Amino acid sequence: MAKRITATDVAAYYGGFKAIDGVSLTIEPKSVTALIGPSGCGKSTFLRTLNRMHEVIPGARVEGKVLLDSEDLYGVGVDAVAVRRTIGMVFQRPNPFPTMSIYDNVAAGLKLNGIKGKQTLDEAVERSLRGANLWNEVKDRLSKPGAGLSGGQQQRLCIARAIAVEPQVLLMDEPCSALDPISTLAIEDLMTDLKDRFTIVIVTHNMQQAARVSDRTGFFSLEATGEPGRLIEIDDTSTIFSNPSEKRTEDYITGRFG
Amino acid sequence: MTTPVADPTVAPSSALSGGSTGRGDRVFFALTGASGIALVLTIVAIGAFLVVQAVPALRDDTTSFLTTKAFLPEADRPTFGIAVLVSGTVITSLIAMVLAVPVALGVAIFVTQYAPRRLAGLLGGIVDLLAAVPSVVYGLWGIAYLDRHLQSVNSGLNSALGWFPLFGDTGGRYGRSVLLASLVLAIMVLPIIAALSREVLLQVSPSLREAALALGATRWEAIRTAVLPPSWPGITSAIMLGLGRALGETIAVALVLGTSSQITTKILGSGGNTIAANIAQKFSEYAQGGRGALIATGLVLFVITFAVNALARLIVVRSARRRLG
Amino acid sequence: MTTLTALRPTRSVSTAALYGLGTVSVLAALGLVRGAGSSSTALTVVVTGLAYLLLAFALVLAVEGRRAAVDRTFTNLAWGSFLLALVPLVSVIALVVKNGSRRFDANFLTHSLRGIGPRDSNGGAYHAILGTLEQVGLASLIAIPLGLLAAIYVVEHGRGWLVSAVRFVTDVMTGVPSIVAGLFVFTFWVLALGRGFSGFAASLALAILMLPTVVRTTEVVLGLVPDSLREASLALGVSRWKMVLRVVLPTAASGITTGIVLAIARVTGETAPLLLTALNFDSINSNPFKGQQAGLPSFVFAQAGQPQQAAVDRAWAGALTLLLLVLLLNLVARLIARRTRLKD
């Protein structure tokens, strides 16, 4: 069920402002790809073009091609809502639905998409919570509000919610930046488990995290403020961190800028 | 009760809103959009219908509508104007503002800056209750209770400050005075101005006040230098909205003000009338022609309050734009 | 310890001194007011306040200096404003309860004014209570859905001329005087459409007055729903309308309900529009769609305008009924608001 993403010459705009330009890369199935780079370089924007979340901001648009295996996400007649069902997303801050219980949070995607039947939902909830390494912690209080969990648990709840709809790709936008080190470790472990089933793309500020969890790493940067961000290079994580081919990548990784 | 602050520029809008996909979304936004259109049409219709009904009455008027004091629309030769009504409306409302604004600002500052933080919500809510009391109840209270007590105050004001034209001699009659109407109006707009100003003051970041305190300012100096300056546009707008409410208030004035067909500038006695109260008092006794004249005065009131409210909005929009640079 | 003593003001006014000052103010005010030949409690209170303000300023100025004195004065003014604002509230409620309870009885709540003259000591407001419930109920049925949908459009659609237009109109409508709303319904419903005076005509006017409040509060509360929840729903592959109905609205529900109940409370006490749309009526008319109908506010207004004591007593009892109804609605609104605050 994991699929390959091929982006060709992707550019994204906020109104008249071009945030990223000319991004082309391939994301391999069943692997973790990390996107790193200085603030404002467009890595999060690029991530949001991969499931058409970019366009929900008024005035925002995307140019270029994004293929999921062979299907163009921006092709004629492609429904953005269906794209998002296929490519799930986890956000920077844990955002469980405050009015829903833990169970309902996990089942939300299924229920909202019209899937009914108690047994189906029960199974999906348990499977997703186990998948997110959260089942043992919450199985006795599934009817309690999701907002009552700790930050790290909430983020794993959000991961469970995202994988419950059985996506093929999981996008993670700095999923640990609001968490403490122990919760971060739990999420990182989880990513290693999840890549057996999903294609994972993670945006992170934390280079050690990229080095720890990812198989491949892409480095984004921009020439100057106001210029669009670009992909400088993408390669195996070990290569990027030990022997990058671009000077700018090396400068960033060794802490000379950014 | 509190009407939330009308700040059109920082009004909430989801950053995620935008184009919609799918048939469900199209139907949904067609339905919600239609409600929006209904809202816009309502205000257009209010203006249009008032104009249509006012025009025949104004055509029948044998004198100048704007300057005539008499209001005799049912006479054989209809003679009516709004001179008394407009001046009465403006005078009562302005005095009400003079009385209400300082206290309302004091209340807003007290609740946001001085009251114990845990009690602030409760105390604000108590003041909000003043706005919950229906205007007809204020009117009843005004004639049955406040009038009696205010008469001695009026008399005292006249003997002490009678040289001042507003407090001039009223022939020894101090009941159902202009000041009584203004005082009741002041009590009614006080909670509105206080609640709106409170919202504005709460929007000022506490860190600004703390910064001033950290520089060694006293509590009041911190409020004056850090809290009030960014709040003035919002407070001004709150005052304008309060003024709009005072101009349009009907029943309380209709009950407490002793009316006459003369413009009065002596506020310690009765006299004059307001547009809104005049409509409420005359509507049931008038037939077609007289009601047309009342509608014409209502149109004037609509235009005045529209202008005041538009101005309040403009102040907020302007200042927000300046803030955003 | 030398550094700490340096931070301590050399002299300061103690709390006990301020209490003393208060006592002196009361005595001075009593002396002044009595001396001027008046026994008004209100006047004494006002003079006490002014005396305290001046004395406190003078004392703090002498002991702690000008800045402290100004600071103390503004603290006193802020407290004074608040206490002053409470005076009419307490006075109105006390008087309404006292005078209203004279006729607030079973007969009052179960009988109309049919065949009752101004001098008769019986007769009640049953017909008016019924009318108010029907008029406000119908107004709510019109204004709540319309206002909710319009606000959803503004917040969730977010762009375009219609959004700006609705925002502008909401602001303008907030300022439409209630009497003008009544006049409009008279010209539109009664004159232009020829439908006659009725309770429903009053509902239309009340709905116009409710609408801006419903739109504005809903708009504000929807704006408080974090965008991250919208993002989360959209990222699950949920369409926008389902997102609004199933995630955004439930999150905002209690805030919106509070606003709506307050809007209902506000129009419940509106008198002016009733006088131009439902007129008034002494007998029971349970059909809001046909014929004149009384409302509680117009009942109070009509009875208050009579010179006879029996009528005025009925006005007070009506005012008490109205006040209880409005305060009950406010209490409900506050309880709903409190419940949400506990949740997050």
Chain segment B20-47, per-residue pLDDT in tens: 457 888 899 999 999 999 999 999 999 9
The most confident of the ranges A241-255, B94-108, C279-293 is B94-108
Encoded amino acid at B283, one letter: F
ipTM of predicted assembly, 2 dp: 0.90
The residue of chain A nearest to residue B14, with distances taken between CA atoms, is A57
Mean pLDDT of chain B: 88
Interface of B to A at Cβ within 8 Å reads 15-19, 21-22
What's residue C325's pLDDT?
A: 95
What's residue A178's pLDDT?
A: 86
When divided into structural domains, chain A yields a total of 1
CATH number of the CATH domain containing B199: 1.10.3720.10
What's residue C344's pLDDT?
A: 38
What's residue C305's pLDDT?
A: 87
Q: Could you read off the pLDDT of C221-265 as tens digits, one per residue?
A: 999 999 999 999 999 988 899 999 999 999 999 899 999 999 999
What's residue B4's pLDDT?
A: 42
Decide if pLDDT at B13 tops 70.
Answer: no
When scoring A83, A84, A87 by the number of chain C Cβ atoms within 10 A, the one with the most, hence best to mutate, is A84
Q: Say whether residue C86 is in contact with chain B using an 8 A CB cutoff.
A: yes
Q: Could you read off the pLDDT of C14-53 as tens digits, one per residue?
A: 888 888 888 888 888 888 888 777 667 777 888 888 889 8
What secondary structure, in 3-state letters, does chain C show? CHHHHHHCCCCCCCHHHHHHHHHHHHHHHHHHHHHCCCCCHHHHHHHHHHHHHHHHHHHHHHHHCHHHHHHHHHHHHHHHHHHHHHHHHHHHHHHHHHHHCCCCCHHHHHCCCCCCCCCCCCCCCHHHHHHHHHHHHHHHHHHHHHHHHHHHHHHHHCCCHHHHHHHHHHHHHHCCCHHHHHHHHHHHHHHHCCCCCEHHHHHHHHHHHHHHHHHHHHHHHHHHCCHHHHHHHHHCCCCHHHHHHHHHHHHHHHHHHHHHHHHHHHHHCCCHHHHHHCCCCCCCCCCCCCECCCCHHHHHHHHHCCCCHHHHHHHHHHHHHHHHHHHHHHHHHHHHHHHHHHHC
Overall average pLDDT of the B57-63 stretch:
91
Which subunits sit against A, judged by 3+ Cβ pairs under 8 A? B, C
Using alpha carbons, list the distances in angstroms from residue A62 to A6, A221, B283.
15, 19, 62
Q: Say whether residue A135 is in contact with chain C using an 8 A CB cutoff.
A: no
C235 with A82: Cβ contact below 8 A:
no
What's residue B278's pLDDT?
A: 95
| Structural domain for A173, as ranges | 5-94+169-253
Q: Say whether residue C342 is in contact with chain A using an 8 A CB cutoff.
A: no
Interface of A to B at Cβ within 8 Å reads 55-60, 79-81
Cα-based torsion angle of the residue sequence C201, C206, C208, C212 in order, rounded to the nearest 10 degrees: -170
The residue of chain A nearest to residue C251, with distances taken between CA atoms, is A99
Rounded Cα gap, residues B276 and B253, in angstroms = 8
What's residue C150's pLDDT?
A: 96
A58 with B21: Cβ contact below 8 A:
no
A58 with B22: Cβ contact below 8 A:
no
Can you say whether the dihedral through the CA atoms of C56, C59, C60, C62 is positive or negative?
Answer: positive
Decide if pLDDT at C6 tops 80.
Answer: no
C333 with B1: Cβ contact below 8 A:
yes
pLDDT grade for B7, boundaries at 50, 70 and 90: very low
What's residue B10's pLDDT?
A: 39
What's residue C47's pLDDT?
A: 85
Angle between helices C66-100 and B117-132 (to 10 degrees): 40
Say if A224 falls within a structural domain: yes
What's residue B11's pLDDT?
A: 39
Say which DSSP state A159 is in. H
- In angstroms, the first-to-last Cα distance of chain B is 34
Decide if pLDDT at B3 tops 70.
Answer: no
B17 with A58: Cβ contact below 8 A:
yes
What's residue B241's pLDDT?
A: 92
pLDDT grade for B6, boundaries at 50, 70 and 90: very low
C211 with B39: Cβ contact below 8 A:
yes
C179 with B18: Cβ contact below 8 A:
no
Can you say whether the dihedral through the CA atoms of C192, C194, C198, C204 is positive or negative?
Answer: negative
Say if A160 falls within a structural domain: no
CATH number of the CATH domain containing A215: 3.40.50.300
Overall average pLDDT of the C121-136 stretch:
94
Say if B66 falls within a structural domain: yes
What's residue B19's pLDDT?
A: 44
Q: How far is CA A255 from the centre of its chain?
A: 25
Angstroms from C333 CA to nearest CA on chain B: 9
Percent of chain C with pLDDT over 70: 95
pLDDT grade for C4, boundaries at 50, 70 and 90: low
Say if A100 falls within a structural domain: no
What secondary structure, in 3-state letters, does chain B show? CCCCCCCCCCCCCCCCCCCCCHHHHHHHHHHHHHHHHHHHHHHHHHHHHHHHHHHHHHHHCCCCCCCCCCEECCCCCCEECCHHHHHHHHHHHHHHHHHHHHHHHHHHHHHHHHCCHHHHHHHHHHHHHHHHCCHHHHHHHHHHHHHHHHHHHHHHHHHHHCCCHHHCCCCCCCCCCHHHHHHHHHHHHHHHHHHHHHHHHHHCCHHHHHHHHHCCCCHHHHHHHHHHHHHHHHHHHHHHHHHHHHHHCCHHHHHHCCCCCCCCCCCCCCCCCCHHHHHHHHCCCCCHHHHHHHHHHHHHHHHHHHHHHHHHHHHHHHHHHHHHC
Structural domains of chain C ordered from first start: 9-100 (no CATH), 126-343 (1.10.3720.10)
Percent of chain B with pLDDT over 70: 93
Residue A173, phi then psi, degrees to nearest 5: -100, 95
What's residue C334's pLDDT?
A: 87
| Structural domain for B77, as ranges | 61-324
Chain C residues 182-221 within an 8 A CB cutoff of chain A? none
Which subunits sit against C, judged by 3+ Cβ pairs under 8 A? A, B
Q: Say whether residue A81 is in contact with chain C using an 8 A CB cutoff.
A: yes
The residue of chain A nearest to residue C231, with distances taken between CA atoms, is A53
Overall average pLDDT of the B102-114 stretch:
95
Q: Which residues pair with A32 in a beta bridge?
A: A200
The residue of chain B nearest to residue C235, with distances taken between CA atoms, is B16
Say if A136 falls within a structural domain: no
- pLDDT beneath 70: ranges in chain A: 1, 257-258
When scoring A97, A113, A115, A173 by the number of chain C Cβ atoms within 10 A, the one with the most, hence best to mutate, is A97
Element at A230 (helix H, strand E) = strand A229-236
Overall average pLDDT of the C2-24 stretch:
74
Burial class (CB in 10 A: 0-12, 13-18, 19+), A205: middle
Task: Give the 3-state secondary structure of residue A20.
Answer: strand
What's residue B165's pLDDT?
A: 85
When divided into structural domains, chain B yields a total of 1
Decide if pLDDT at C77 tops 90.
Answer: yes
pLDDT grade for C141, boundaries at 50, 70 and 90: very high
Q: Could you read off the pLDDT of C290-340 as tens digits, one per residue?
A: 999 999 999 999 999 888 999 999 999 999 999 999 999 999 998 888 776
Say if A209 falls within a structural domain: yes
Decide if pLDDT at B163 tops 90.
Answer: no
What's residue A136's pLDDT?
A: 93
- In this complex, which of C159, C235, C239 lies closest to A51 when CB atoms are compared? C235
Q: Could you read off the pLDDT of B287-315 as tens digits, one per residue?
A: 888 999 999 999 999 999 999 998 888 88
What's residue B21's pLDDT?
A: 55
- In this complex, which of B6, B13, B284 lies closest to C155 when CB atoms are compared? B13
Say if A239 falls within a structural domain: yes
Say if B55 falls within a structural domain: no
Say if B266 falls within a structural domain: yes
Chain C residues 20-79 within an 8 A CB cutoff of chain B? 38, 40, 42-43, 67-68, 70-71, 73-75, 77-79
